[in-house]
Chain A
Amino acid sequence: MATTTTLPPKKVNRIGLEQAAYKGNKSTLCAGCGHNAISERIIEAFYEMGVEPHRVAKLSGIGCSSKSPAYFLRSTHGFNAVHGRMPSVATGTLLANRSLIAIGVSGDGDTASIGIGQFVHLMRRNLPLIYIIEDNGCYGLTKGQFSATADKGSVLKNGVVNDLPPIDTCALAIQLGATYVARSFSGDKKQLLALLQGAIGHRGTAMLDVISPCVTFNDHLGSTKSYGYVKDHDAPVGDITFVPFFDDITVDYDEGTTTNVTLHDGSRILLKKLDRDYDPTDKSEALRVLTQSHDRGEVVTGLFYVNTEQPNFIDLLNVVDQPLATLPLARVRPPQSALEEVMESLR
């Protein structure tokens, strides 16, 4: 490589790519949409982790959220599936090629209403997938109807009040078997980036419910998914720091005030405990915190639960290490003697 260039050296990540290599097409979502902020954090997370874009697969369902994979990782394969059915497409993709890092983007309607069936089965399989809910509590693309994550008592722009309790996708995911479950806020850059980096390093279902206000239909006073509401009611369970596996910086915290979780790829998550003694490896504690804070009207954010011991779905299936999609013929077509043996058994 020539080193005599006069231009200032461009900032690159550990595999020599600039952040621009992780960008996507121009967003067609509304200006100020929380989803765009999430796309930016996804770009940063993959850049900072030094993931080769071709090793990623982007998946989504239908809705505003599901358009967003076009707005990050431009050179990566993407699949915009049908409404509520991204989990099955992601499952098939990973069955075909287990070496991919798959990121699925869904919305609250796409997940908790039409897609709840596939969502729960995805969670219980612990498929190695980063599953992001861009959660604005409403259907933006069809002009703002309530979704199943809308809080009871929240009000639509046109005055309609939601009478039904919300589905807590985080509590559901923890109960069903997801092994990395977090909630964040599209406006919290630091926390969301750390959670996304942790999700990339995790090899199981990483479910991130990201409150992402809909600036057009759900960012007013009566909404519990507005910028103002979340800012006022956000109660983080911990101050999260992410240390990538290739980073050798030491983070110095007082003994007893942090929880240190080592992820599958060697990365570490350091959770500085806040006002309560929170342990993210304790499933029942996670569920208790979610229930209690819900009763208090708080929006708890942070990493609720992480389990790096549980085998993921691909491991459980005991498939070969190479991608099934491209196994050579000799490994997928038994020899002629096998057919003859079967034929003989049928005579």
Chain B
Amino acid sequence: MATTDLAPAQVELSARRDTVVNDLSIQVATVNGSGSQSSNMVLLRALFQMGIPISGKNLFPSNIEGLPTWFTIRASKHDWIARRKETDFLVAMNPETAEEDVRGLESGAACLYDEKLDLKRFRDDLIFYPVPFDKLVAPVCPDAKLRKLVRNMIYVGAVARLLEIDMGEIENALRKQFKKKVKAADLNFKAVLAGYEFAEKNLEKKDRFQVQRMNANEGKILIEGNAAAALGCMFAGVTVVTWYPITPSSSLCETLITYMKRYRMDPETGKATFAIVQAEDELAAIGMVMGAGWAGARAMTSTAGPGISLMAEFVGLGYYAEVPAVIFDIQRVGPSTGLPTRTAQGDVLSTALLSHGDTKHPLLFPSSVDECYSMALDAFDLAEELQTPVFVMSDLDLGMNFWMSEPFKYPDGPPKRGKVLGAEDLDRLGGFLRYRDVDGDGVGYRTLPGTAHPGAGYFTRGSGHDERAIYSEKADVYVNNMDRLAHKFDTAKRLVPGPVIEENGHGIGIIAYGTSHWAVMECRDQLAHEFGVETDYCRIRAFPFADEVAAFVRRHRRVYVVEQNRDGQLGALLRLTLSAEEISRLRNVLHYDGLPIDARSVTDAIMTQEVGN
């Protein structure tokens, strides 16, 4: 591993006066299906291994081959890892988008491009680095069929040379990328070297950007949110997983399958301690979760907005019949098919209240890959403690992109399996009433099918039922049951992860959640340094909202609620719970173009409203 040969902790980041060190964003524009993902991951990982804080975001089309795709890499010594709007260094490989890509650059930016695209003609205020890709790839890769895939490695070498990325780390990253495929790794590295050598001989460094080794990533891991969530599920002891493929959620269950096959096979029998089923649709996926949760398994499914819509009826049953379930929503842009490969926080309101009748469900909002992992663990505990469906509201940006993280912590206690009575309990108690609020927290006791006791059985139904689970249409029975469910939701408020509040007595507050967090952190720095506007921050981690959220609103004159949807969905949920006076303090900051939210957009939106105040 490369971490052993890192430079000493304190690195003097000095260079030419106008040189910008470890603070840049690279954008690579390619054609989908051209193998550029490997090249981009090599660049990203090499920078990561150089100890520089990074983020990489794949902006890809809903397509297997042929449509344009962009990959953005941000390296920031300040640890800002939200998407940056501006590109400092463009790698233009896609003829179809090249002109637009070049025209969109800020003056002074660099553009490395395929020579035959002749991009110089579009701008005279950029730094251009033409590279004859076809000429360079031919001698490296005699097999013409492979050239398309190897070609993109040439820009890795050229960019490495121009930005001074450590070639040792490039090779480490490349060999990690290709794992045991040594021949493929050798071939690709030859292409990297060809690019490097071409740049060394032919390209004069004229842009201001440069990277240097830092020591910010010691011990850290690089992982996608979906893989992190999968790990959380495995260590939570999930036993039944049912799913239906949908972007951007599929990789969660697919990664889970890989991990489970490796770590969850019974050593004695070679059999699985889990069942994973690809269902015929999301209706079946959630139905299977309902059956499994009812029968006592830790059961989950993972989907995206369209799947959530299909699950609505079953989730209402889960709420009313009180069946534990864990549902991951890796949000993408809707409505309908929408922009299926772009990110959003657009399912918040509909999922919080999913289904017909009076329903509401706990939602968890992970901001980081670490929280994808820990909230997966939390979600199973909450679902069983509360006997209700619980949603983990991730998004495409978090789920499908690679993020740095401290390593995940092993769960420190046994899972909380909730109130389940066994045969011995029933002997002692002489019986039980399924939906009676014995403990005053709104949560009854349940038994599992198969419990060897004549008093264990009860009839689970979505129709009106009394404390004994017997069919009833009586008005007072219905109202008492619904009021108990509301009371149970108050209990949820105490059990879900609370908000993270950073407060210094400033008059202006910001509320955000999920991936908006990273843009908000950077935005607060911009507001303070560029405009002298200091802010406090409340990062919401779950619905129902803890009481601290309302208290935070009350302590601030104006509170900006930042989110990635058009209508301010979390703001709307806040408005359902806050007083009229508290509501008057709320302002919306909304970002909904499908691209991951960036700090500059948030800063601009807040300042526009602040100027009016």
Which A residues fall within an 8 A CB radius of B?
A: 21, 25, 52-55, 57, 59, 69-70, 73-82, 85, 87-97, 99-100, 117-118, 121, 314, 317-321, 323-327, 329, 331-334, 336, 338-340, 342-344, 346-347
Contacts and interface: CB of A to CB of B under 8 A. Distances in A.
Of B269, B450, B460, the most chain A CB neighbours within 10 A belong to: B450
B450 A100 contact: yes
Contact of B291 (A89, A321, A336, A346): A89
Interface stretch (B117-125, B129-137, B282-290): B282-290
Contacts of B449: 57, 76-77, 93, 97, 100
A78 B449 CA distance: 8
A319 B284 contact: no
Listed from nearest, the 3 A-B pairs whose CB atoms lie closest are A92-B291, A88-B287, A325-B296
Contacts of B451: 54, 77
B309 to A, nearest CB: 15
B277 interface: yes
A75 B454 contact: yes
Contacts of A346: 221-223
Interface string B264-282: 1010010111110101110
Contact of A320 (B3, B271, B461): B271
B478 interface: no
30 contacts: A21-B454, A77-B447, A77-B449, A77-B451, A77-B457, A77-B459, A78-B461, A79-B321, A82-B462, A85-B284, A87-B287, A90-B291, A92-B288, A93-B449, A95-B242, A117-B280, A118-B287, A319-B275, A320-B269, A323-B296, A324-B239, A324-B240, A325-B239, A325-B296, A332-B274, A332-B298, A333-B236, A334-B234, A334-B235, A334-B264
Given A54-B454, A318-B271, A89 B237 contact: no
A347 B453 contact: no
A320 B272 contact: yes
A54 B266 contact: no
A117 B279 CA distance: 11
B314 interface: yes
A278 to B, nearest CB: 33
B234 A70 contact: no
Interface residues of B, number: 76
Interface centre among B293, B297, B314 (most CB of A within 10 A): B297
Given A80-B461, A324-B275, A53 B454 contact: yes
B231 A93 contact: no
Interface of B: 1, 3, 219-223, 231, 234-240, 242, 259, 263-264, 266, 269, 271-275, 277, 279-281, 283-299, 313-314, 317, 321, 407-408, 410-411, 414-415, 447-463, 470-471
A202 B239 CA distance: 26
A92 B237 contact: no
A91 B223 contact: no
Given A329-B415, A332-B273, A121 B280 contact: yes
B124 to A, nearest CB: 44
A259 B521 CA distance: 76
Contact of B274 (A53, A80, A117, A319): A319
A161 to B, nearest CB: 32
Nearest to A326: B296
A79 B317 CA distance: 11
Contacts of B273: 319-320, 324, 327, 331-332
Given A324-B273, A338-B263, 6 more contacts: A21-B454, A75-B455, A79-B459, A79-B460, A95-B297, A325-B296
Contacts of A70: 459, 471
A339 B456 contact: no
Contacts of B277: 91, 95, 317
Given A319-B274, A334-B264, A92 B299 contact: yes
A54 B290 contact: no
Contacts of A336: 410
A96 B275 CA distance: 8
A97 B452 CA distance: 14
Given A76-B457, A317-B272, A57 B295 contact: yes
Given A332-B237, A347-B221, A88 B283 contact: yes
A95 B291 contact: yes
Given A53-B454, A54-B457, A317-B277, A85 B314 contact: yes
A325 B275 CA distance: 11
Nearest to B471: A70
Contact of A347 (B220, B275, B279, B286): B220
A339 B239 contact: no
A333 B289 CA distance: 20
A344 to B, nearest CB: 8
B36 to A, nearest CB: 22
B221 to A, nearest CB: 4
Nearest to B236: A333
A54, A75, A95, most chain B CB atoms within 10 A: A95
Given A96-B296, A319-B271, A343 B287 contact: no
Nearest to B452: A54
A132 to B, nearest CB: 17
Contacts of B234: 334
B228 to A, nearest CB: 9
Nearest to B415: A329
A69 B461 CA distance: 11
